[in-house]
Structure 1
């Protein structure tokens, strides 16, 4: 909700500053902030759905909603890059007056605010293990990048004088390319979560170590882990003494499941397969 309020405020400031200061780059930056409002709302809605507990229709929970929200934000980044790029080309081809120097301190403040907010979201997303929050942080950073490009372009147009009126539009066009590249990268990251890509090897090693430390576990065979929203679902094959009773094997399986659920690795569900250890 803070991101939505911040984007609404910045959008109003940017558009007003762009109209008064005669710079399309700042107006386009403000329009992107309006798009950011919708993307922030998507992330917020996705997280609210993702934390819902499993039900009859969703036995593995609703975690994928978080990844889908992240994918939607990445797509909006690509849309914003295309929209601003198209209008930047139009402004470059259309003669216009140079922007006013007063837009420079305004942009400097906007860049600082967006960068600080982006870094805060990066930390929150990393602590929560949230893909959509991480993508939203990059979205805010992309917005700061667009503002920085506009700052450079406006500065060149102001100090360059006649013949440099479209410098801010060229700067906005260059920023669009960077935003588009980031959008593609972040879309792939969200798709990895949707497609249940393998977790990092280091994380799997930690899960295996937690299971292997349970008394009665002789070894581990397969270990499959998939990320679902902010949590992980584990499917693990545990080797025990083949001469144990079914009851004792079941007890060890329960202990492994409890150990993983109680671990700090954000595990929401565990399926343990018991295998006889090799003699």
Structure 2
């Protein structure tokens, strides 16, 4: 199986997990909102609204993955990989909006008298927590397999939903025990900071990709090890690696003997590129700059 075929297979797993998330979130959102309205629980309604936002974020992940896997074209010579972290940013921002909305509505309801939630809403929440934890584990596994920040964000959405449902469960229990309906709203309010924190933490990774932050150092180490194994390479200088979607693009300065012919240096550069792409996963392109050994001993132009 070629690297392209392997990547397409992995992305198809991500697409399927996104569709599972869309279906599950829609069913859970409808169920929670319906049970919350009938059961007089805003914490449950807020939980349902958060799940409804998850539907749109999962759709963003789905279309982001589909767009990111498109091959390079004339207008996008580096491919469409940036669509994947953009989808992840949308997921995080959606989660932030949901967290702020839940907080504002909770504060409003705390100040407004209303009915105590019905006991059966606890069973609804218990089922939601279990379902969301299972979904979070499943989607997180897919995200780790395909190294997708967007799918990872989707997994965090499921976990945040489970946390929100857990707070709602505690709030409704307190409301039933104390006969104080506002306990339910306080629970929804307490869930808000958790949602916002998770959203902010999840936002940092795709933002780092969008501004071409260096990936983990082990990627560069693998690149250097692969290049150093090529005959004719006597040293390595600069090495820059950036992640575009699922793939890595490498700029590498290779040191060779200064008396080599242009043809030989060109041949070595191609061998370096082939070796890196063969030994390092997800490398889409390697730009090799050949430097003669003697040039490294000369002062730089800024020093002359």
Shorter-chain TM-score above 0.5: yes
- When normalised by structure 2's length, the TM-score is 0.88
Answer yes or no: is 1:31 the counterpart of 2:44.
no
- Counterpart pick for 1:247 among 263, 276, 280: 263
* CA deviation profile, 1:173-197 (whole Å, cap 9, x unmatched): 1111111122122222221110001
1:112 corresponds in structure 2 to: 130
What whole-Å deviation, never above 9, does each CA across 1:55-87 have from its counterpart, x for those lacking one?
Answer: 110111111011111111111011000111111
Provide structure 2 residue ranges, at least 5 long, that are not aligned to the other structure. Answer: 1-18, 298-304
Q: Give the length in aligned residue pairs.
A: 277
Residue 274 (structure 2) pairs with residue 258 (structure 1): yes
Which of 239, 243, 256 pairs up with 1:223?
239
Give SS of 1:254's match: helix
CA distance in 2, matches of 1:68, 1:187: 10
Q: Normalized against structure 1, the TM-score is what?
A: 0.96
Q: How does 1:67-86 map to 2 (within 5 A)?
A: 67-86=85-104
Q: Deviation digits for residues 184-225 of structure 1, max 9, x if unmatched?
A: 222222211100011122221122112212222111100001
> What are the Cα deviations for residues 214-249 of structure 1, in whole angstroms up to 9, with x where unaligned?
222111100001110011111111112222221111
Q: Which residue of 2 aligns with 1:203?
A: 219
Local SS of the residue matching 1:83 = helix
Deviation at residue 119 of structure 1 after TM alignment: 1.5
Unaligned runs of 5+ in 1: none
The list of structure 1 runs, each at least 4 consecutive aligned residues, that deviate by more than 6 angstroms after superposition, is none
The reply to whether residue 270 of structure 1 matches residue 290 of structure 2 is no
1:130 is matched with which residue?
148
| 1:145 aligned counterpart, secondary structure | helix
Indicate the SS of the match to 1:167.
helix
- Whether 1:61 and 2:74 are equivalent positions in the alignment is no
Q: In structure 1, what is the Cα distance between the partners aligned to 2:250 and 2:89?
A: 24
1:43 is matched with which residue?
61
Distance 1:129 1:6 in 2: 23
| CA RMSD after TM alignment | 1.3
